[in-house]
Structure 1
């Protein structure tokens, strides 16, 4: 039974929920049933059919509607006396300022992407509001509490970078199906349906007799004298046939590798699939599978079937979606895009002797999907509410970071651990200066803004200053002259800016919306490894202490805290923490049991829903390591 103190803290609180997806639905229900009276929800997404298997507040009739609004209406049906305010909006919108966050007693995150998490973390720090973070990935999950100045913030430890692959492996020597997926998604799909002017390794000129002697013709340009079917066959022969032959001409490459097999249209019998009536699925999505009568997404198609899907998907794009051509990027929720990428990846896999995969499997790899488990979402939501109640009671000594994973020695499925203290090297909450190695004579201010300030530092409206000189600023209140000056600065190399940025320069970067600032010390560097350092810049200073083993960190999935679960490792303050120090979950603190099972980790962080979120490859490897002991 809850004490009078708990009930009072709950009823008098004002709570902000960010995210109304898999975790969010469970969380809103649990908050309402626990007695919370004033709840606000922010979510920018609309409901999709794929959400319905676990986001239980939604029904098929709700598809296309706001998640936040429908979740509010659903809960008010069984708790009509409470106040729930919904915002169908992006949490990064200007209306959700630091002053807005100050209205709340606690913020509860059920988010699905790193960028939004960082933004909320900074707003909570600026507003001095406690944050409870969470996330799930299949049977794994975690919940953590972040109190300004008392525990580490979300960004106290760097998050594992999305896995990348060497360009040469993707373009020339794939050995795994994921290599074929990356090739089909980031090279072929992008070249056919995205920016036509981009250059990539698919632009090897054809020897089909149509190219000019100086090889000036782009193979991917549709000719005036060919229809879509002829165009598709020419592209097929080029990327799966001729390009493979070009690769085979380098005999040194294949001395210790199995040689690929060029595949041409004439070699593949595609006449065994007949056109069906209609090219739409039941949900209204344009589909090559529907057009060809292929119904089960878990079937592994033959080479002939993949080839047929390739041609049919290409035709449907050009005939039914011509306005999209030239502007598309791959989206795992675009059925036709998934079909095309699956077919192209399988044809390439067949060429290189790699096992073929079903559309269901290929979509998971291409979209970095780990399929959701509703029970995990429910357990994590319960843990969020438990920690929120502790926050409201000012019970700061009893907060726990809780991990949903199997502890083989104790047969535990929930593992609580004490929160870590702030990392003194964190550039967000400890304001530690960063260092940036960059070629100041070649890199433009635009490169710095896009690759470092926005991508690495997560700022939305940056202000960049060198001393008292403003080099760049974003804002609606800027006059036309200032906008022109800052736009011109973007195209200048760093060393040629009005206030030159050279080795030893200290830049101040500020985001007024987040009320966050940091400093970066510039170090000039002549050369960078294009494979290992593709940005041509190297940011450092924001790292975990050298005593920590990166492979023993629980990283950037739903939660933020990097609890060390390996025997005898140290936390950010140097304090030893062992598995034996982690308290056992008991019914008194509300912990329960989560399901457990093996998971295939995705290749990189995705931003769809919390079901697609991953904690980190490190967590999975750690789980496996402990099971083997």
Structure 2
């Protein structure tokens, strides 16, 4: 480490290198970019590095997350990464295996100790949360992301440059249940059906239960058929758990013949769609194709379906239940073949086992070289952000640059990297266009201060001339409004307002100018009663909105497997827009996306 230290000192200068040694940084994420960034930050010589990651190591991580080995599978990423790098480290390394959004583990004051924050996340919600914390504390944040050959870095200087939420991010793909169960039109619909309905019902701990209001259809025949199909799958589950392999032909006949015939009986479904064709009788010959990257014939699909079902049936008595795992060959073959047989029935393209592993396992194909390039750019950009480059004048925010892979993104034919200057904050951004501050409050003040008293203090300090509304953003609960005063006499403690809660204050005045929306982070302290932050809450002009809001939004629940279950609240008066089988690129900013990226995360509407 002495050689690296001396080189860094010569490059940065003694004074800047000492600043670097005195700086602590936060790295959120220990995946593909995170591993590379941790290595870079250690070799650069930052004084302390805290790394946060909730995940454990998966087999599919090993090809690009170079700090991990096969022996590390199922181990926490954060602690394993530090163990792998500490032998070359002269920095204080601290691992946290926890959710970065846990306010008890990581209060706002904890973020304040760091000179800069590095985001190396693939989770949209967590990225937005870290961006919000950086905005509260005015901490520089370095965003980064990759998808295949594409990648980007974006320094974010709160108040001076656009933040992560200044540009619209793509939302996860959703599929109505009726599409998945009755009228698949894309291969991914068949994959979701095979993984989340068929496999889950036969082998996993519990199958999907669906209410009539969640189906995405009001056709009584279709609703009846879906519910009947679910009940009949329970009968098949008994065959599977009994281990009677002689019943496998009956399972095939039920799923791929009889259920399709029942679908065909609902004539309304096929007025504008091509009818499916039930699976013909196919004699199982036991021949298996071992080429995982090729698309198997329908005969080979049926052979592999039978064999994978046999193997899973033999495992059930000992394991009790089997959960889908993309690295479990038996479960992957079952889902692959079931999905492809269904796709064949509905005259859709078949996929290779390798392709379905990517989709069903929510794997975003990542390239180690892209991760290395982007993490290197992120580490170098931090020196510019922190003004640690020798003989360079102090950088102004607008003089900083982002970087993205312009050639891979089809933006430039002769430049691999483009580095435009950072944009100004978006005046319509819901995150950085508002006023923010930390509301310090003691436990005693929480018990004695009423909501009415808090509102009065806010109105007086920030010169709100009319009514205000208060929203608890952690639960999206309205606490007060001009026509909702039921909670005004309750104390903050009675309203369950506590440390880590974010309150959104809106001016409800009927005027051409109102105070801008303000957010307060509740920070529980011992030495203060209730202290409002000294921030400026400016007047802003009211611009009448012409945009229509979409009320057909469901409640989102994230499962342990990383899928998203979204309860359908569709507008029955609107025709469903066909969902293109396009791949998301949420890792990249909208203006820098390529025409084709590789995120095929499975999202199911239940």
**TM over 0.5, yes or no?**
yes
Q: Work out whether 1:424 is the aligned partner of 2:427.
A: yes
**Using the alignment, how far apart are the partners of 1:252 and 1:171 within structure 2?**
15
Task: Confirm or deny: 8 A CA contact 1:138 1:599 kept in the other structure.
Answer: no
Q: For residue 260 of structure 1, what is the aligned residue in structure 2? A: 276
User: 1:347 aligned to 338, 341, 345, which one?
Assistant: 341
Find the residue that maps to 2:355 and give its secondary structure: helix
Structure 1 residues 537 and 123 mapped into 2: Cα distance closer, same or farther (>3 Å)? farther
1:305 aligns with 2:319: no
Corresponding residue SS for 1:269: coil
In 1, Cα distance between equivalents of 2:553 and 2:113: 48
How far has the Cα of 1:350 moved from its partner? 1.6
Deviation at 1:190, TM superposition (A): 4.5
1:66 aligns with 2:95: no
Q: For residues 267-346 of structure 1, what are the structure 2 equivalents within 5 Å?
A: 267-273=281-287, 295-314=290-309, 317=312, 320-321=315-316, 332=326, 335-346=329-340
CA drift of 1:600 comes to: 4.8
Paired residue for 1:2, among 4, 11, 29? 11
Once residues 361 and 216 of structure 1 are traced to their aligned partners in structure 2, the CA distance between those partners, rounded to angstroms, is: 28
| Whole-angstrom distance in 2 between the partners of 1:235 and 1:510 | 58
5 Å-filtered alignment, 1:489-508, equals none
- RMSD after superposition: 4.5
Distance in 2, Cα, partners of 1:186 & 1:512: 40
Relative distance call for 1:562 and 1:60 in structure 2 (3 A) is same
Q: How many residues align?
A: 471
Residues 364 and 601 of structure 2 are in contact (CA less than 8 Å); yes or no, is this contact kept in structure 1? no
Match of 2:260 among 236, 244, 247: 244
| Residue in structure 2 matching 1:83, options 66, 73, 92 | 92
Aligned to 1:219, the other structure's residue is in SS state helix
- What residue number does 1:360 align with? 354
2:130 & 2:230 partners in 1: Cα distance?
49
Alpha-carbon displacement from aligned partner over 1:55-114 (angstroms, at most 9, x marks no partner): 1222223223222222222222123x3221112222122211110000000000111211
Task: Report the equivalent of 1:403.
Answer: 404
Q: What is the match of residue 138 of structure 1? A: 148
> Which string of whole-angstrom CA distances, capped at 9 and with x for unpartnered residues, describes residues 112-148 of structure 1?
2111111211222222211111010110001101121
Quickly say closer, same or farther: Cα 1:195–1:154, change in 2 above 3 A: same
Shift of 1:604: 4.4
Give, in whole Å, the separation in 1 of the partners of 2:61 and 2:321.
30
Contact in 2 for aligned 1:146/1:153 (Cα 8 Å): yes
SS in 2 for 1:244: helix
> Which one is further off, 147-156 or 400-409?
400-409
Q: Evaluate the alpha carbon distance shift between residue 469 and residue 63 of structure 1 in structure 2; reply closer, same or farther with a 3 A threshold.
A: same
Secondary structure of 2:231 counterpart:
coil
Task: Determine the C-alpha separation between the residues in 2 that align with 1:165 and 1:416.
Answer: 37
Contact kept? 1:204, 1:243, Cα under 8 Å: no
2:231 aligned residue: 218
Q: Judging changes above 3 Å, is the alpha-carbon distance between structure 1 residues 203 and 70 closer, same or farther for their aligned structure 2 residues?
A: same
- CA 1:123 to 1:171, structure 2 compared with 1: closer, same or farther past 3 Å? same
Q: What is the Cα deviation at residue 39 of structure 1? A: 1.2
CA shift for structure 1 position 300: 3.0
d(CA) in 2 for partners of 1:73, 1:55:
14
Matched, 1:197 2:191: no
Give the structure with higher Rg (CA): 2
Shift of 1:258: 4.4
**Alpha-carbon separation, structure 1, partners of 2:318 and 2:157:** 49
Q: Distance in 1 between matches of 2:114 and 2:230?
A: 61
TM-aligned CA distance change 1:526 to 1:9, over 3 Å: closer
Which residue does the alignment assign to 2:158? 148
CA distance, structure 1, for counterparts of residue 154 and residue 73 of structure 2: 32
What SS does the aligned partner of 1:383 have?
helix
Say whether the 8 Å CA contact 2:359–2:602 is kept in structure 1.
no
Shift of 1:204: 5.6
Residues 336 and 353, structure 2, Cα contact 8 Å, conserved in 1: yes
1:11-40 CA-partner distances (Å, limit 9, x unpaired): 221111011111111111111222322111
Q: TM-score, normalised by structure 1?
A: 0.64
5 Å-filtered alignment, 1:101-180, equals: 101-165=111-175, 169-180=179-190
Matches within 5 A, 1:507-518: none
Give the Å deviation of 1:458.
Answer: 12
Is the contact made by 1:138 and 1:373 (CA closer than 8 Å) also made in structure 2? yes
Residues 417 and 106 of structure 1: is their aligned pair in 2 closer, same or farther, counting only changes over 3 Å? Answer: same
**2:507: which partner in 1?**
none
The match for 1:601 is 598
Gaps of 5+ in 2: 1-9, 388-393, 436-470, 498-516, 525-531, 534-544, 555-565, 572-582
Is 2:35–2:66's contact at 8 Å kept on the other side of the alignment? yes
CA offsets 1:247-295 (integer angstroms, 9 cap, x no match) = 333557556754422026xx1222425xxxxxxxxxxxxxxxxxxx765
Conservation of the 8 A alpha-carbon contact between 1:113 and 1:605: no
Given the alignment of the two structures, is residue 378 of structure 1 paired with residue 372 of structure 2, yes or no?
yes
1:310-360 Cα distance to aligned partner (Å, 9 max, x none): 3454455565347988996x6545554433221111111121233322211
How far did 1:416 drift?
1.1
Q: Contact 2:155–2:402 (CA<8 Å) still a contact in 1?
A: yes
Tell me, yes or no, if structure 1 residue 99 matches structure 2 residue 109. Answer: yes
For residues 426 and 459 of structure 1, the distance between their equivalents in structure 2, rounded to whole angstroms, comes to 16
CA deviation profile, 1:214-245 (whole Å, cap 9, x unmatched): x7992122279854446654443233112222
| Maintained 8 Å contact 1:300/1:359 | yes
Match of 1:29 in 2: 39
Spell out, residue by residue over 1:142-185, the C-alpha distance to the aligned partner (whole angstroms, 9 max, x if none). Answer: 11011211112212233112233455544444343223223323
Change (3 A) 1:528 1:605: closer
Indicate how the Cα distance of structure 1 residues 238 and 161 shifts in structure 2: closer, same or farther if over 3 A, else same. same
CA distance in 1, matches of 2:553, 2:27: 43
